[in-house]
Structures are given as C-alpha cells and as structure tokens.
Amino acid sequence: MTHHIIGKLLQGRYQVVQSLGAGVFGQTYIAVDVDYPENPKCVIKQIKVNSSESGYLEMLRLLFLTETETLKLLGSHDQIPEFIACFEENERFYLVQEWIEGHALTAELPIDEYFGCLWSESEVVEFLIDVLGILEFIHSQGVIHCDIKPENLLRRDRDCKLVMIDFGSIQSIDFGIGAELPIYRIPVTSLGYIPPEQFIGQTQPNSDIYALGMIAIQALTGLEPLQLKTDPSTNEIFWRSQNTPVNDYLAAVLSQMIRYNHQDRFQSAGEVLRVLKQIIWEPQPSETLEGDSQFSLEVAKNSASGKSSPLLTGMKVGLAANSLLMGFGVYSLVNTAPAYSETDTLFNATKEYQAGDLEEAIALAKSIPSHSNVYPEAQATIEEWQEQWQVAAQQYEIAQLAFQESRWSDILHAAAKVPKILYWQSKTDKIVQKASLNIEAQTQDLLTKAYERAAEKDFSAALQYLRQIPQESRAGALVQDKLAEYNRKRQIRAAYFLQKAYKKASIGDFDRAVKFLKNIPSDTLVYAQAQVKLNEYTQKKRVLADNQKIASAKRTNLFVPKNSVTKVEYLQGVNYLQEVNIR
C-alpha cells in the first residue's frame, strides 16, 4: 500500500512524498500541496478500510464524516494541528492536517534512570500544566484522545510549545463506551500509557490523565511505564523509590493521576490544573539557602477556615517533610489571597452553591452584615440562587422521567435548560451521556435499516426509517443528505412505474399496468396522474375480461346469459379496446 501511494497526486492537489508510519486506524504520510507556489507540507492520514461491502463503507463513511467535524473543532486550538480537508477517493478516506515542524517529546525524555537528564520538579509541573490545558480543551469538546504518549506530543520549533497530534484513536465522550481493545491492536509504543479501563471498553476522560501522569513519572525517574512494578494486591504502581527525590505534594498529585481505578483518580484535567497551580514558585530570603539548592513546599491554606484545600482531600499527602533539593532557589506553595472580607464570604458561599449545598450557601450569604458594600449583591444572589435551584431540580426530574420512558431527545432538551450549577449539571450529564449513547445506537440501527431498504429500491420505507432518527443525532448532516437523495430516487422510480404502466397498457396488458400504478406512492409528483390512469386501466381491464368470457362462450356454442354483456355492448367493447391499442 505504502509503495503504491508514494508520488501519487490525491484530489489533484496533495502529492504524497513520504510515509510516516502505520497505526491501528490507518497509514500516515507527508504530502505537499501543489496548489500553492511554495508547496507547503501537510500530513495525510489514510483511514484503513477492511471491507468493500456497501454497508460497511456506508458505516465507515458516517463515522468518518462525524469524526472530521470533531477534528475541525479541535484544530481551532493553537496546540493542535489545524484541520485542512477531508475527502474520499477510490473508496478510501483521507484526512489532511497541518504539518508541525518539531520533534517528539521522546527526544527530551531520559533514556533510563542513569543515562540522560532527569527532569526537575519545576520542569515536570510546567509540562503537566501545558498539556493539561490542551486536554481540558479536548474534553470540553466532548472527546477523549485515547492515545497520549511521548510520540504524540511534539515540541514545535517556532515557539517551543508542545503540540498534541494523532487523533486517530479519539473517542466521543457523548458517543459512549467503545468496544474492548484487544492487546494485539495496540501499538507497542502505546503500551504502559493506556489505563486498565481502556482495555475493557470503559474509556473515561481521565484515561488521558493516567497516560499523562505516566509520562511525567518517566521524566522524573527515567523509567518507562512497563519497567515500573505494581502491587499484586491493589494493582497500584510503585514508582517512587529512594532514588526518586520528589516532593510529597507533587508525588501525591502524580500518584492520584495514575490510580488503577479511574474513580479514584482526578476526574478532570481542570481539577489537576487547579491543584498544580496552587504551587507558587517564590524565592525565600537568602539566609534560608543552603548553597542555593534548598527549597520548601507548603500546602495552601483556606484563608477563611484554615483548612487544607479541598482539592487535596483524600490524597493522603505527608507534608511534614516537604523540604527538597529542587534546583534554583527556595520556593514555597503559599496562599496569596487577600485578607478575609465579605467578598470572600460570598465567594465561599458561591462554591458551596456550585457544590450542591444550597442551605450552607444561603447561610453564608446571609451572614454578610447589612452595612457591608457586598450586602445588596448577596441578597440579590440568594434570590437568584433559589430560583435557579428550583428550575434545575425541575429539569432534572423531567430528564429522569424521560430516561425511565426511553425518551432520549427529551432528556437532552431538559438538560439544556438546567442553569449553570455544577452540582445539577454533573447529575444531569450522567443521564445525558446515556441518552446520547442510546440516540447514536438508535441512529445506527435506523440508518442500517434505511440502507437495506434503499438497496431493495424501497425508498419509501427507507425514508420512513430516516425520519425516525432524532434531530440530536450526530449524523444529522448525513441524514439530511440521504433524505434528499432517497426522495429524489423515489420520485424517479414513481415516474418509471408510470411509464411502464403506459407501455403495458399500449399492448393491452392492463393487469400489469394496474400493478405498476398501484406501486406509485401517494406523496409523489406523478401520483395524481397515476390515479387517473389507474381508474381508466381498471375499467378497460374489466371490459377486456368480459369480452374474453363472450369469446369463450361462442367457442363452446353457449348462449350469452340474460344478465351478461349484450351483443351491442360486446361490439362497443371491441371498438374501445381498439382505440386503446391505436393510442
């Protein structure tokens, strides 16, 4: 395949010049765009096609169109290659994306724990914050990358920023759980970075967080994921040894990123970012230095309560011995928030409200004294909270009832009306994800049935199946195209039946003519004309049948019955049929 495509001109525009390698989902190439004078490079991915059957190709075409729409959205981020084009040629599907000049992160990682430069803690934190920002955007678009590894993170030459590439394995969060991932289908370079749940088709957004955590540990230790040992009883990974001088705080963050059970990990990229951004690198007075290499790290305190940040709850961080040699000066994690004020109270009340404790939020807001400048805002906020909370609860109940009754579209309508309260949105999102999964499964089933009926030329039935597909389906554009296509084909087929009826009637075969006319759907353009001819041909068919009876009776020397056709009527019928034949 690679040998045949090198040098070819695809779409009359993209000339393939080099192969970049093959993966589970297809082959990747470098091409040049001959439409531009400078012939800029681009990346072309040829999607693997395992069958040439029409049903399989239609399904692949649907998935291809769906995922390309996702890639267009992702490409709007500065650290993701821009989507350029997609096309189908000779029953092969191609994606064209921006070419990134740079090198893979693999070149920057230590080869082992003794050879190559291990990364400092500050370098690891900087790396994590950079990539988590990209992941936060990707997950906000409703997709999971599914293949985060050093090869898929490029250091861009022009600005030294990290760029995330190879979205060939992306999975839609909304589209639902995928199939199990057989070990033989996984590229060798991905092993160790893929979390356990991904192998059994239960990929989560924080599956990407697991992979990122493994890369960070590799940078700190020089050990690749498959070199790390696991606890046979808990399946948790042992990565921190005496040779890994890492602060307890950062170690706890990394350990929670790679927990075996995805429910025990950080649940979102934003959550990890908030924890890491509590680290404020700040030089301390020079008398605390020991050769410019001693550092201290403290956990940020909540200014109102004095408690540790709730984001660290459950991490079981031992912070008594946080001093550590880190590299260039004493730094501390401190809370730089201003002194306590009524604004802080309202802020904390808002956090309680978003977390789902309406009573505590209102109590905090009411504690603000009436002489405070914040008091009017607090009172207005309380009223707004109560109204929004009631709306959110009502819409959630509507969504639950719709779920019980399998009204998937109604769930999405209700969810869209839920106010921006994290507590209620997170509860509703769980139902929405299941509803979206059912909508897409229903869509696939109806599309398959529509394709089957269309293959049998039964376009009316195919259209009925297409019209049952929910508008919220991600296949909306394809459905509209197929509706137009099948309606056009049905009109053509109806006109064809009418012409066939004319031809059969012209040779006196009214029985066949009537059968053709009865196959013409009522909502086609030629239906009215077909009904006129149906009445005409039905009458002629009856006259012809009567004439045949008379002729048969004469051949057998039988008299015509008293109530049957008269001789005059018989002659009139013959003349009538002759007129039809002349026409």
Binding annotation: 45
- What's the CA gap between 457 and 452, in Å, rounded? 9
In degrees rounded to 5, what are phi and psi of residue 306? 80, 5
Which amino acid makes up residue 122?
S
- What's the CA gap between 381 and 421, in Å, rounded? 13
What is the dihedral angle through the alpha carbons of 478, 481, 487, 488, rounded to the nearest 10 degrees? -140
Helix residue spans in 405-473 (DSSP H):
408-416, 422-455, 459-467
Neighbouring residues of 193: CB distance < 8 A, sequence distance ≥ 6: 147, 148, 149, 210, 211, 214, 215, 225
Output the 3-class SS for 4-66. Answer: HHCCCEECCCEEEEEEEEECCCEEEEEEEECCCCCCCEEEEEEECCCCCCHHHHHHHHHHHHH
In degrees rounded to 5, what are phi and psi of residue 538? -65, -40
DSSP code at position 569: H
Q: Which of 81, 82, 105, 74 is nearest to 193 (CA)?
A: 105
Annotated binding site for ATP: 45
Neighbouring residues of 66: CB distance < 8 A, sequence distance ≥ 6: 474, 475
523 is catalytic: no
Q: Name the active-site residue from 147, 166, 208, 248.
A: 147
Count other C-beta atoms under 10 Å from residue 83's C-beta.
Answer: 20
In degrees rounded to 5, what are phi and psi of residue 474? -70, -10
463 contacts 206 by C-beta, under 8 angstroms: no
Neighbouring residues of 82: CB distance < 8 A, sequence distance ≥ 6: 75, 76, 97, 98
In degrees rounded to 5, what are phi and psi of residue 164? -95, 130
Neighbouring residues of 404: CB distance < 8 A, sequence distance ≥ 6: none
The first and second tokens of residue 311, run together, are 């984001």
Only one residue has tokens 């955590």, namely: 213
The first and second tokens of residue 241, run together, are 């040894």
Which residues face 380 on adjacent strands?
Answer: none
Q: Is 337 left (phi over 0), alpha (psi -120 to 50) or beta?
A: beta
Catalytic positions: 147
